[in-house]
Amino acid sequence: MKTVEFFKKKQVLSFEVFPPKRTSPIETIYSTLDELKGLHPDYISVTYGAGGSLNNNKTLEIAANIKNRYEFESVAHLPCINLTKEDVLLALNTIRENGIENILALRGDINPDITPCTDFSHASDLVAFIREHGDFNIIGACYPEGHPESKSIVDDIYNLKRKVDAGVSQLTTQLFLDNEYFYTFRERVALAGINVPIEAGIMPVVNKKQIERMVSLCGVHLPTKFIKMMARYENNPIAMRDAGIAYAVDQIVDLAAQGVDGIHLYTMNNPYIAQKIYEAVYRLLAA
């Protein structure tokens, strides 16, 4: 099933997982998925070499298992920066053969240790290529605070419009910690004539290291109440985890009330956190 169909019925709730590191056995992700199985997200997406890492070879295998063994709709992330057109065609064949209908088409994070391929410069090039080679539901990434490389928010939204026009039918945002950025972004994209569903990407922040990485990678704004929470609990991991969960739930309650199309939960492969958030919000999104 194409995940865009879910938005016609309700506010969507999806989960994101990532493949285990190369040094960890593949089974670690399946024990995570075993625990997520009792929850009922509308779909689960699987990252591919996020952060420019090379642990991407298992993405399609995991996405296929989510679809065929766990019987959730799955989304395969596909970043193109280090792929040739032939690589993409091979990936599309594997995706198709496994009955996966949904692809998050990305440019990908630039890894300074890898010289990028030149077949695709932007995600919109990949979107057009996928559209040409199959009947997939194509999802795109977007950035409420602007993509860190973009010249301006206006320029970024102009590029987003080109990406959607190339064949994207739903969008998922980068994480944000201040919902006001999301509401302003939602207005701006509507004014730009972008009218596909937008899922809000929510990452429960549960330790200080995670924040430092996030700020350096995505340049996300840290609100004062968030900084105070971190300062108060940074040396108490359990309290920090619980505060991070509560913060994410608070964001989701506000987003749900303000008519968000969906919530995409970055689970960090942590079933405990996914379960706590799911239990707190699933009735709100189903209402």
Q: Active-site residue numbers?
A: 16
Does 141 sit near ligand FAD (CB under 6 A)? yes
**Amino acid (one-letter) located at 25:** P
**Residue of the chain from 14, 32, 47, 55 that contacts ligand FAD (CB under 6 A):** 47
Nearer to ligand FAD, 11 or 170 (CB): 170
Tokens of 72: 């959730």
**Site for ligand FAD (CB under 6 A): how many residues?**
25
What 161-167 contacts at long range (C-beta under 8 Å, 24+ apart), as own/partner pairs, is: 161/189, 161/192, 161/193, 161/194, 162/124, 163/122, 163/123, 163/124, 163/127, 164/140, 164/194, 164/196, 166/124, 166/125, 166/127, 166/128, 166/131, 167/127, 167/128, 167/130, 167/131, 167/138
CA atoms within 13 A on the CB side of 239: 8
**Residue of the chain from 20, 49, 144, 197 that contacts ligand FAD (CB under 6 A):** 49
Query: What's the closest the beta carbon of residue 104 comes to ligand FAD, in angstroms?
Result: 6
Instruction: List beta partners, residue 198.
Output: 171
Does 131 sit near ligand FAD (CB under 6 A)? no
Nearer to ligand FAD, 49 or 262 (CB): 49
**Residue of the chain from 15, 48, 129, 226 that contacts ligand FAD (CB under 6 A):** 48
**Amino acid (one-letter) located at 101:** E
**Residue of the chain from 12, 29, 77, 263 that contacts ligand FAD (CB under 6 A):** 77
Nearer to ligand FAD, 134 or 219 (CB): 219
Interface with ligand FAD in residues 142-201 (CB under 6 A): 147, 149-150, 156, 159, 162-163, 172, 174, 201
Does 124 sit near ligand FAD (CB under 6 A)? yes
Instruction: List beta partners, residue 77.
Output: 104
Distances (CA, A) of 11 to 3, 142, 166: 12, 18, 25
For 174-186, letters b (16+ CB in 10 Å) and e give bbbbbbebbeebb
Does 204 sit near ligand FAD (CB under 6 A)? no
Interface with ligand FAD in residues 81-110 (CB under 6 A): 104, 106-109
Does 119 sit near ligand FAD (CB under 6 A)? no
Distances (CA, A) of 29 to 24, 61, 77, 95: 9, 11, 16, 19
Nearer to ligand FAD, 126 or 230 (CB): 126
Site residues (CB under 6 A) for ligand FAD?
A: 47-50, 77, 79, 104, 106-109, 122-124, 141, 147, 149-150, 156, 159, 162-163, 172, 174, 201
